[in-house]
Structure 1
Amino acid sequence: MSIVSDTGHLPKPPPLPGRRWFLPSAITAELDPDSVGRTGRPKRTARDWIVDFTCFLVAVAVGLLGADALPKEPNTPYPLEVVDQWLGALACAAVWLRRRWPLGLAVAMVPVSFLSNTAGGAGVVALFTLAVHRPFKYVAWTSGVSLAATPLFYWLRPDSDLSYILSLAFAGLLTGALVGWGMFVRSKRQLMLSLRDRALRAETESALRAEQAQRLAREAIAREMHDVLAHRLTLLSVHAGALEFRPDAPRAEVERAAGVIRESAHEALQDLREIIGVLRASGDGAEESGRPQPTLEALEGLVSESREAGMKVTLDNRVTDAGTVPASVGRTAYRIAQEGLTNARKHAPGAEVTVTVAGVPGDGLTISVRNPPPPGDVPHVPGSGQGLIGLTERATLAGGRFEHGPGEDGGFQVSAWLPWG
């Protein structure tokens, strides 16, 4: 089943909760398009500001350590120390641009870190940012060039505390750790977006399945109404034909036939209005079977069939005259009882089911189907829940309401109220 809309795109994801400040701006831009600013870039969250400020402090701290080590280098004259510190200060300031130009900043830091010892912290931050925001091929080229220049750097400016071999080993381990950590953060973000996309797709598929179930329920209701309408029109035609061929019939018979014609025409008009209201002239596939549909009067027969199938069913029918219930209301009540008994037979075999019907004109008709927990183990029977969706659609179209869910005793209950007046 397709989960895209008519425009060919996934529906817009729901707004993010109030904890969006704890997410990176790159994630919020994917999850919430409204978080993108006028420039087309995601707005910085509170978390972004904290992380950026921390990266800036790290770059400054490492730069200060490098500046403190400059006087200990015998091959570094004072003018070069000044240039080194100026380059380090500019590199630390450039850290604030790491989100906008991660690749450009990382590439620029390669020669700057080679010339300036105090720019090492900014180079570390730039390489980590590149690993987080860009694919691995860019990270591999940038870190590879930086590692290739490392032996020359420590040969020209040896570390006073570490040997040449240890300096190279430390630089290689630090570069590998930064790249690995950055790629891990990138993978985690991509996983979060993938899970969000899966959840959105699953929610969309569920909504489409429910919509399809509602459409199928409307079509089934329309077919039932079509059958009832065909039955009424057939009855009307029979009585009208009798009057046509027997114009000399007794007055009583003429009055009775005229009353049947009037009543049948009125009920046919009501059924036709219901069909139009359900499908809005979209019921072209209805079959003209001409068979009447069950109403509330057929409820006892339904209960008897269930008992013959081995179910324990108790019917509490408090409606004194089921014939006075409108056909559409009685038909909906019958279908609710039928679906409730079917579900009880599948999911609670052996449990005693109680069907209760009550109501008077003006107050409406209520019907409920209850069953306690099954007495033994129940085999797993898969269910799509579309039957309950269809019942909800039926009750809504009839102007009533439908509820279902577990009961207080651990069983299950479906109940509905339908207008009767």
Structure 2
Amino acid sequence: MDPPASSPYRRSRRDWVVDTVLFLLAVAYGVVTSATRLDASSLPVPKWLFNLDQLSGVLGCAALWLRRRHPVGLAVALAAVSAFSELVAGATVVALFTVAVHRRPRTTAAVSVLSVLATVAYVVVRPEPDTSALLLFTLGIAIYGAAVGWGLFIHNRRRLVLSLRDRAVRAETEARLRAEQAQHHAREAIAREMHDVLGHRLSLLSVHAGALEFRPDAPAEDIARAAKVIRESAHQALQDLREVIGVLRAPVGELPQPTLADIRQLAAESVRAGMRVDLREETGGTVPDGVGRTAYRIVQEALTNARKHAPGAEVSVRVTGEPGRGLTVEVRNTNPTPPPAGTPAIAPAPDPVPDSGPASTANAWSGQGLVGLAERVALASGRLEHGPTAAGGWSLSAWLPWPA
């Protein structure tokens, strides 16, 4: 689109070439037409009208240098003059072409209608004695229509190029945003994996270290056994952390992922830490990797929270399901009770700094752990329910889809 008339405008080298060619074409049409009329034995119009026609043609061709600043006004003026002037027809065609290129199709249609009316007026005012009026009208409409059609083609082509450029810029921006979003999601996934992997190991360290702190007079064998567990857990935690950090630049799908079969190892580690865990698995078939991984994380978070906030409680884990009916994971813990007499001195101790409030079963699993579990289950298109039980314990139940 051309700039408004009030703004400064500078023609490029290409604009100068195009404007000069169009100006010369309009002048050539006027000169050839005028010479043809002068060579005729007698003019079909009075002398004064022919002189006015020549003056109009000269002024119309000169006004073409303003076509980029005032395309619509120039086209309307030349169309009105073309109602009686024959030599201004070349300049009128150029003006119509300019309007079609630089203005909206609605404006082009209005100016085209005005040029058609001017053509009708010319045929009536200046009829040709040897030529049919219908032929003159058809010829004028054909020339104007060709100019407008060519201009509209260039107009639509320019709009298409601009839209393609905008679309390319928009696509590049969207691609950059998608890359940033994917990187953000990858970082969130890595952070979630680090929380799940290290939270379980560090809770084991906290249990045994807390027991050593509260029972410094324990037998040497129990202290040695606890120290061994602490060393092994710390070593495994470092191994897990090294694996996670090693894939920070790798796709999220390459992170070390557990399966449903690893739940038995989770339960065994918790039992070695002094917890009472009852695990039962009743699955009819091979659980998909994604569903099994989500179930593993649910059990891992539940055991970690129970160990930290409900020491001494008995935890029951139930994993049941079959293809087509889904996989159900239920984790329940009883109300915490003091360890019975005769148990080893190294018993689980409460976390000195609970996550939220006093270490009681009622608020045992409050905080960010349940939020993370809810997000995991929602991403797997499952359901998660949790809350205190009537006996004073805590219950967590999740259902995950298992396709047939």
How many angstroms does 1:256 deviate by?
A: 10
Change beyond 3 A, Cα 1:69–1:152? farther
- Distance in 1, matches of 2:116 and 2:22, equals 22
Are 2:215 and 1:241 aligned? no
What's 1:181 paired with? 150
Verify the 8 A CA contact 1:294 1:331 in the aligned structure 2. Answer: no
Q: Kindly provide the CA deviation profile for residues 118-160 of structure 1, in whole angstroms up to 9, marking residues without a partner as x.
A: 2111101011122222333333333333323324424543458
Task: Report the equivalent of 2:76.
Answer: 107
Distance (whole Å) between structure 2 residues aligned to residue 127 and residue 196 of structure 1: 28
SS in 2 for 1:139: helix
Task: Name structure 1 gaps, 5 residues minimum.
Answer: 1-25, 30-35, 268-290, 296-324, 342-421
1:357-389 deviations in whole A, cap 9, x for unaligned? xxxxxxxxxxxxxxxxxxxxxxxxxxxxxxxxx
Cα distance between partner residues in 2 of 1:263 and 1:257:
10
Measure, in 2, the Cα distance between the counterparts of 1:38 and 1:339.
Answer: 64
Distance 1:340 1:184, change over 3 A: farther
Does the 8 A contact of 2:84 with 2:125 survive in 1? Answer: no
Q: Secondary structure at the match of 2:216?
A: coil
CA contact (8 A) 2:5 2:70 kept: no
Which residue matches 1:212? Answer: 181
8 Å contact from structure 1 (residues 228, 293) kept in 2: no
SS at match of 1:126: helix
Q: Which amino acid letter does the alignment assign opposite residue 188 of structure 1?
A: R
Q: CA deviation at 1:168?
A: 2.3
Q: 1:118 aligns with which of 77, 82, 87?
A: 87
1:297-353: CA deviation from partner (whole Å, max 9, x where unpaired): xxxxxxxxxxxxxxxxxxxxxxxxxxxx94544454897793799xxxxxxxxxxxx
Answer yes or no: is the 8 Å Cα contact 1:102–1:129 preserved in 2: yes
Equivalent pair of 1:63/1:88 in contact (CA under 8 Å): yes
- Letter paired with 2:200: H
Contact 1:150 1:168 in 2 (8 A): yes
State the distance in 2 between where 1:40 and 1:206 align: 37
Query: How far has the Cα of 1:92 moved from its partner?
Result: 1.2
Shift in alpha-carbon separation, 1:167–1:335, aligned structure 2, 3 A: closer
| SS of the residue 1:116 aligns to | coil
Letter in 1 for 2:100: A
Q: Which amino acid aligns with 1:192?
A: V
Shift of the alpha carbon at 1:216?
Answer: 0.9
2:220, 2:210 → 1: CA distance? 16
Shift of 1:293: 9.6
**Inter-partner Cα distance in structure 1 for 2:256 and 2:14:** 52
What letter matches 1:50 in structure 2?
Answer: V
Residue of structure 2 in register with 1:392 after alignment: none
Over 3 Å counting, the alpha-carbon distance change for 1:219 and 1:75 in structure 2 is: same
Confirm whether residue 49 of structure 1 aligns to residue 16 of structure 2: yes
| Cα RMSD, aligned residues only | 4.3
TM superposition shift of 1:57: 1.5
CA distance in 1, matches of 2:189, 2:63: 67
Residue in 2 aligned with 1:65? Answer: 32
Match of 2:136 in 1: 167
Q: Kindly tell me: are residues 253 and 176 of structure 1, through their superposed partners in 2, closer, same or farther at Cα, counting changes over 3 Å?
A: same
- Between the aligned partners of 1:192 and 1:115, the Cα distance in structure 2 is 40
Q: Is the Cα–Cα contact under 8 Å of residues 247 and 255 in structure 2 kept in the other structure?
A: no
Name the SS of the counterpart of 1:124 in structure 2: helix
Structure 1 residues 237 and 40: CA distance shift in structure 2, 3 A = farther
Q: How many pairs are equivalent?
A: 255
Which residue does the alignment assign to 1:147? 116
Is the partner of 2:82 in helix, strand or coil? helix
- Judging changes above 3 Å, is the alpha-carbon distance between structure 1 residues 121 and 333 closer, same or farther for their aligned structure 2 residues? closer
Q: Which amino acid aligns with 2:169?
A: L
Structure-2 change in CA distance of 1:246 and 1:340 (3 Å)? closer
Residues 227 and 292 of structure 1 are in contact (CA less than 8 Å); yes or no, is this contact kept in structure 2? no
Equivalent AA in structure 2 for residue 120 of structure 1: A
Query: Aligned partner of 2:192: which letter?
Result: R
SS of 1:207 mapped into structure 2: helix
Higher Rg of the two aligned structures: 2
Unaligned 5+ runs, structure 2: 258-404
The 1:220–1:42 alpha-carbon spacing in structure 2 relative to 1, beyond 3 Å, is farther
Task: Name the CA distance, whole Å, in 2 between partners of 1:334 and 1:209.
Answer: 17
Aligned AA for 2:214? F
For the residues of structure 2 that align with 1:102 and 1:52, how far apart are their CA atoms?
A: 13
Q: In structure 2, what is the equivalent of residue 131 of structure 1?
A: 100
- Identity level (%): 50
Question: What SS does the aligned partner of 1:117 have?
Answer: coil
Q: Counterparts of 1:49 and 1:198 in 2: how far apart (Å)? A: 31
1:93 is aligned with what amino acid?
Answer: A
Report if the CA contact (8 A) 1:293-1:331 is conserved: no
61 and 251 in structure 1: CA distance in 2 versus 1, 3 angstrom threshold = farther
Quickly say closer, same or farther: Cα 1:41–1:221, change in 2 above 3 A. Answer: farther
For the residues of structure 1 that align with 2:187 and 2:103, how far apart are their CA atoms? 51
CA positional deviation for 1:55: 1.4
Q: Is contact 2:44-2:128 (8 Å) kept? A: no
With structure 2 as the length reference, what TM-score do the two structures score?
Answer: 0.51
Pair 39,149 (structure 1): closer, same or farther in 2 beyond 3 Å: closer
User: Residues 167 and 332 from structure 1, CA distance in 2 versus in 1: closer, same or farther, beyond 3 angstroms?
Assistant: closer
Between the aligned partners of 1:334 and 1:179, the Cα distance in structure 2 is 59
Instruction: Name the structure 1 match of 2:329.
Output: none
